[in-house]
Structure 1
Amino acid sequence: MDTIEIRQNLHMLLLEFGQAYLWNDAGALTLIDTGIATSGGDIADAIGRLGFRTRDVRHVILTHFHEDHSGGAAEISSWGDVIVMAHRREAPVIRGEVPAPPPNFTDEERVLHRQLGAHLLPPAPPCRVDRELEDRDLIDFGGGARVIATPGHTDGSIAIHLPGPGVLFTGDTVVHVDGQVIPGVFNLDREEMLRSFRKLAVVGAELACVGHGEPIQDAHIALPAAADLIR
């Protein structure tokens, strides 16, 4: 597993499948997404290589319930005094109280999904959600983080904006593939997801940390340009 320094206090963790982000506030760590169910050990190793302990993780923020984002949360929630957060509409799925609704595939996505069929992901174990988030909620990390509701990929998908450092965590509403900034796939409601994409395009963040692909530098330019191209 690779650990990539994006900024002095921000690392991207490239996991067995997918990725997560680790923010450091003077030794108090915030983890945005957690990879698949087998990712806990890799994340613990990465935290150790960076000179921290697993009990330094204070916040786990899940951008949505998909198993490549929430799968490791149950294990990580047991590491210490960890507050697990997700949007109110995602919490029942993450807790295992209701089944996860399947995506509404486009024809192209259906083909892609079949091609990925050999890479079935382990189900995410149920995990407690200590704080249910809403649009515009504030979270105490990174100088003050703001929740942005971005429904469409899932009903309760969220992005997290750090206005001070100019960083935006987009979840799967935005992906960065082969140098292209595009909307995410496998959505519950593609039209609603596109509205959320356009919403993120006007945030004005300098850096966008996406759910899949490399972080987007100069996001305040790249995201509006991509939004102009989508239909």
Structure 2
Amino acid sequence: MDLVEVLPNRLHMLRFPIGQAYLWQDGEALTLIDAGHAGSAPAIEGAVRSLGLRPERLERIVLTHCHRDHVGAAGELAARWGARVLAHRLDAPVIRGESPVPEPVLLDWELPLYAHGLTVPEAPPTPVDRELEDGDALGFGDGAYAVHAPGHTDGSIGVHLPGHGVLFTGDCIAAVGPLMLGVFNVDRARAVDSFRRLAALAPSTACFGHGDPLTEDTAAALSEAAAAS
């Protein structure tokens, strides 16, 4: 796992072989946006400690959607450090293991990529302490709130921190190469609409589920990519 500073003393990316999570700091209070794959809790804890921070100050884990590369370590981290797990109401039953993971409608070129993604360990059933709706305040980042962004999954969300100009897009938007609509969507048309809604928030920093964060000319780049989707 690689630890990458995005915003000094505020935001770091935790990059795994497939997918990534983000660590947000409000002083000593910590929030994870997504949690990596099953088995990655020790690496995440080590990354937190390497920053001189205490993992017991992890207050919440916000899951952008129900896929295994985003959910896998959330339950272990929450059980170990007492963090609360937050996810949208529509994906919460999947995260808990009560409903199956929704099958995406794959384009032909997505088939080999999808098979590669399935090499990530399955996520164990994970308790969700709070079910989110669009616009819900998340309790960190000086006013972070959830933005329902369905299409990748029914309960996909973005996480917007307007006071800091930061947007976490989950897998609605990807930056593996050029900015693009994320892959493996259950409803591509809804995903495109969500891409455009997220782009309209005009952040100065955008953090994706896959690909490097965007910190320069971000709003314009997102707007252009959304219009082309």
Q: TM-score, normalised by structure 1?
A: 0.95
Map residues 136-215 of structure 1 onto 2, 5 A cutoff. Answer: 136-178=135-177, 180-215=178-213
Letter in 1 for 2:31: T
Deviates more, 1:165-174 or 1:48-57: 48-57
Q: Report whether the alignment pairs 1:103 with 2:104.
A: yes
Secondary structure in 2 matching 1:225:
helix
Which residue of 2 is the match for residue 221 of structure 1? 220
Contact 1:16–1:39, Cα closer than 8 Å, also in 2: no
Distance between the aligned counterparts of 2:174 and 2:93, measured in 1? 26
Listed as ranges, the gaps of 5+ residues in structure 2 are: none
Identity %: 50
Q: What RMSD in Å do the two structures reach over aligned CA positions? A: 1.2
Distance between the aligned counterparts of 2:82 and 2:69, measured in 1? 23
Aligned length: 227
Distance between the aligned counterparts of 1:100 and 1:204, measured in 2? 31
Which residue of 1 is the match for residue 119 of structure 2? 120
- Higher strand residue share: 1
Which residue of 2 is the match for residue 4 of structure 1? 4
Secondary structure in 2 matching 1:63:
coil
Distance between the aligned counterparts of 2:113 and 2:53, measured in 1? 39
Distance between the aligned counterparts of 1:54 and 1:36, measured in 2? 18
Map residues 50-129 of structure 1 onto 2, 5 A cutoff. Answer: 50-114=51-115, 116=116, 120-129=119-128
Structure 1 segments of 4+ aligned residues over 6 angstroms from their partners: none
Secondary structure in 1 matching 2:179:
strand
Contact 1:15–1:42, Cα closer than 8 Å, also in 2: no
Q: TM-score, normalised by structure 2?
A: 0.96
